[in-house]
């Protein structure tokens, strides 16, 4: 195996590369590392000034991962895994960013990353079977392969509220938080949005602020994280048995062992047993609640039981019964939107200086120079925090002018929703790979394991092509149609379609309502990808200078 070395040392001219990777988050970094292992020259272009992706941009107060730290870490290097020590059960953003930096340094990745450089376009040159990739500064590089490691939640939604520019106080976005941090001491702060980002921000800034006003359009189901210092026994056990745990993760549905799905059906248990199971999961913390029974995610009546349990918890925590009712989600099943994992969220509403504004009954009419006006009241504020989400899964790709065969723009091809084969490629765009693209498990799984599986697959594929003097791989339109139909069929068997979520693009006005991630689970998906390879890359057309294989 060739030594793992930077592209420059591989003797490549700066304008001609084997591979361009877009994004230096967890996906892009591992992709670069793997390509170097097979002697391929690659360069990452990254819009941010440093590595980290999600964990570089989302540095809002309280940002932390919602999967246990040891589970949400790279598995590819036993040495890395054994030497790194997490401090908390759910690592906070600064520690995650430190980890990503450590990985970049440990594997000497920085020489092949161009920071503060956004990719503006990627155009396929059919005469040369190469991608011409252009930066926002107008620099151009040519590459055989273009790999989009642009992230699923990296294109932040912009405030679309009338008067947003007129506010004379400070405005912040959780998705692009100032590096220096913000001190809200003595301020009247309004937070718009109560998804994961909003909830984590709210619980963290509440001790500082003079007054906090939470503007909630749709309540979230939120469960306690039960965060704290990592249990040394858990950390030691993970390291000692990492291979076993990693194998379990890879075979599992979500790649999150903490979910630990119970095989019993909800109504095979007595009401007492159900209650005990939910209590047990609530006490364990995190996503484990969704694993309390095998049918919580697929059977509405079973789901109603879990939802009712959470509703009772909210009622038991929040002192004011009216506020409690406003905080209880009633319009979608639990888990159909990404559940939030919090530290003391519902308790916040028992503080005198915190108020909840229910936008479902009193919508925002405008942002004014002094605050926010709803249909019922005007709220005077010193600062507004937008925690309003992302144009998920397709937003980051749409921002780039990606053009395949016949000049077709990806955004136009996907006008009615993303079309991919395995979430890895899209027909008409040869040699363009997506890491955790729409149609792959991605956001429904432990992202880091989903990333590793895609990166390993893509690396093997590029190696396969090189070993056989093949130059082009492209998804066939038939395989793509079948895959999209398969993903939709699987989604219809779940409760996901019953929520207006970002999984469906429902949070972005005008975005087609299409369920984007693959809901069949990471384990099954991995098997499918492996079978495709075993069947000579079934569903892909592989071509060389004068052959089709
Ligand atoms: P989100 O879940 O999409 O939440 C956005 C919130 O903003 C929703 O409450 C939404 O209300 C509200 N909103 C949007 N536009 C609005 C408007 N014009 N007026 C009023 N309210 C508006 O976004 P997020 O919180 O950034 O989380 C996105 C995903 O990122 C999560 O689901 C998760 O996968 C990931 N994440 C994970 C963590 C973690 O714990 N590790 C932390 C942050 C994010 P509606 O629901 O009514 O649209």
Residue 14's pLDDT is: 56
Contact assessment for residue 18 and residue 2, using Cβ atoms and an 8 Å cutoff = no
pLDDT digits (tens, 9 = 90+) for 331-390: 999 999 999 999 999 999 999 999 999 999 999 999 999 999 999 999 999 999 999 999
**Cα 158 to middle of ligand 1, angstroms:** 12
**Confidence at 3, pLDDT banded by 50, 70, 90:** very low
Of ligand 1's listed atoms, the one at least distance from the Cα of 338 is 32
CA-nearest residue for atom 16, ligand 1, is 388
Phi and psi, residue 418, nearest 5°: -65, 140
pLDDT digits (tens, 9 = 90+) for 249-263: 999 999 999 888 899
Of ligand 1's listed atoms, the one at least distance from the Cα of 67 is 41
**Cα 485 to middle of ligand 1, angstroms:** 28
CATH of 13-51+109-155+392-548, one of 3.10.129.10, 3.90.79.10, 3.20.20.140, 3.50.50.60: 3.50.50.60
Closest CA relative to residue 216, chosen from 64, 388, 337: 388
**Cα 66 to middle of ligand 1, angstroms:** 14
CA dist 357 and 375 (Å) reads: 11
Show the tokens assigned to 106: 């440990």
Show the tokens assigned to 182: 């913000």
CA-nearest residue for atom 38, ligand 1, is 196
Phi and psi, residue 393, nearest 5°: 70, -40
Residue 8's pLDDT is: 44
- Torsion of the alpha carbons at 476, 480, 482 and 484, rounded to the nearest 10: 180
- The per-residue b/e assignment along 506-541, b for 16 or more CB within 10 angstroms, e otherwise, is ebbeebeebbbbbbbbbbebbeebeebeeeebebbb
pLDDT at 2 over 90: no
Q: Enumerate the β-bridge partners of residue 212.
A: 189, 354
Show the tokens assigned to 362: 């009193």
pLDDT at 227 over 70: yes
CA dist 216 and 184 (Å) reads: 20
Residue 261's pLDDT is: 87
Closest CA relative to residue 355, chosen from 322, 391, 392: 322
**Confidence at 10, pLDDT banded by 50, 70, 90:** very low
How much of the chain, in percent, has pLDDT values that exceed 90?
95
Mean pLDDT of the 97-114 span: 98
Q: Enumerate the β-bridge partners of residue 369.
A: none
**Confidence at 527, pLDDT banded by 50, 70, 90:** very high
Residue 108's pLDDT is: 98
Cα radius of gyration (the chain): 24
Mean pLDDT of the chain: 95
Instruction: Delimit the domains of the chain by residue range.
Output: 13-51+109-155+392-548, 170-386
**Cα 174 to middle of ligand 1, angstroms:** 10
Residue 371, helix vs strand vs coil? strand
Contact assessment for residue 413 and residue 430, using Cβ atoms and an 8 Å cutoff = no
Higher pLDDT, 514 or 548: 514
**Confidence at 538, pLDDT banded by 50, 70, 90:** very high
Residue 539's pLDDT is: 98
Cβ of 502 below 6 Å from ligand 1: yes
Residue 260's pLDDT is: 87
pLDDT at 307 over 80: yes
Of ligand 1's listed atoms, the one at least distance from the Cα of 64 is 41
Residue linked to tokens 């003391």: 344
Cβ of 387 below 6 Å from ligand 1: yes
Contact assessment for residue 358 and residue 326, using Cβ atoms and an 8 Å cutoff = yes
**Confidence at 1, pLDDT banded by 50, 70, 90:** very low
pLDDT digits (tens, 9 = 90+) for 429-448: 999 999 999 999 999 999 99
Contact assessment for residue 497 and residue 337, using Cβ atoms and an 8 Å cutoff = no
Q: Tell me the HSE value of 399 on the side-chain side, using a 13 A CA sphere.
A: 22
Cβ of 501 below 6 Å from ligand 1: no
Cβ of 47 below 6 Å from ligand 1: no
Please report, for residues 110, 133, 137, 255, the alpha-carbon distance to residue 140 in angstroms, rounded to integers and kept in the order given. Answer: 20, 6, 9, 38
pLDDT at 147 over 70: yes
CA-nearest residue for atom 26, ligand 1, is 389
């Amino acid at each position: 195996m060739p030594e793992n070395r930077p592209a420059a040392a591989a003797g490549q001219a700066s304008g001609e590369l084997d591979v361009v990777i877009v994004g230096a988050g967890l996906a892009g970094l591992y992709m670069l590392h793997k390509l170097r292992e097979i002697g391929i020259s690659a360069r990452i272009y990254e819009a941010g000034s440093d590595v980290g992706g999600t964990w570089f941009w989302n540095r809002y107060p309280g940002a932390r991962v919602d999967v246990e730290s040891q589970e949400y870490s790279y598995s590819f290097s036993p040495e890395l895994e054994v030497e790194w020590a997490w401090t908390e059960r759910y690592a906070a953003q600064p520690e995650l960013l430190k980890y990503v930096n450590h990985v970049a340094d440990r594997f000497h990745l920085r020489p092949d990353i161009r920071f503060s450089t956004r990719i503006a376009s990627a155009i396929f040159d059919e005469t040369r079977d190469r991608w011409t990739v252009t930066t926002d500064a107008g620099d151009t590089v040519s590459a055989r392969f273009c790999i989009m490691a642009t992230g699923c939640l990296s294109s932040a939604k912009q405030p679309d509220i009338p008067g947003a520019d007129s506010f004379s106080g400070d405005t912040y976005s959780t998705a692009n938080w100032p590096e220096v941090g913000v001190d809200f001491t003595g301020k009247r702060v309004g937070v718009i949005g109560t998804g994961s980002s909003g909830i984590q921000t709210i619980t963290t800034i509440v001790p500082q602020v003079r007054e906090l006003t939470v503007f909630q359009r749709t309540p979230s189901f939120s469960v306690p994280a039960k965060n704290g210092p990592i249990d040394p026994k858990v950390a030691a056990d993970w390291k000692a048995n990492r291979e076993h745990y990693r194998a379990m993760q890879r075979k599992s549905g979500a790649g999150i062992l903490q979910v630990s799905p119970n095989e019993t059906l909800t109504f095979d248990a007595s009401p007492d047993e159900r209650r005990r199971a939910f209590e047990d999961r609530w006490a364990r913390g995190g996503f484990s609640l969704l694993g309390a029974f095998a049918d919580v995610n697929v059977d509405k009546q079973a789901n109603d039981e879990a939802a009712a349990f959470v509703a009772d918890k909210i009622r038991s925590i929040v002192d004011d019964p009216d506020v409690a009712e406003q905080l209880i989600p009633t319009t979608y099943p639990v888990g159909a939107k990404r559940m939030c994992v919090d530290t003391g969220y519902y308790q916040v509403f028992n503080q005198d200086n915190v108020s909840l504004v229910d936008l479902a009954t009193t919508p925002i009419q405008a942002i004014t120079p002094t605050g926010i006006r709803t249909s019922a009241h005007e709220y005077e504020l010193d600062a507004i925090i937008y925690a309003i989400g992302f144009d998920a899964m397709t937003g980051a790709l749409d921002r780039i002018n990606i053009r395949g065969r016949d000049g077709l723009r990806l955004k136009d091809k996907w006008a009615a929703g993303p079309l991919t084969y395995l979430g890895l490629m899209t027909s008409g765009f040869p040699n363009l790979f997506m890491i955790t693209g729409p149609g792959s498990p991605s956001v429904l799984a432990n992202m880091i394991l989903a990333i590793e599986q895609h990166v390993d697959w893509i690396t093997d594929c590029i190696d396969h092509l090189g070993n056989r003097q093949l130059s082009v791989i492209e998804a066939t339109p038939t395989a793509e149609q079948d895959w999209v139909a398969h993903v939709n069929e699987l989604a219809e068997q779940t409760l996901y379609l019953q929520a207006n979520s970002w999984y469906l693009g429902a949070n972005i006005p005008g975005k087609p309502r299409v369920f984007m991630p693959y809901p069949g689970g990471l384990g099954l998906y991995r098997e499918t990808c492996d079978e495709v390879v075993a069947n000579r890359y079934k569903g892909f057309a592989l071509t060389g200078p004068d052959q089709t294989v």
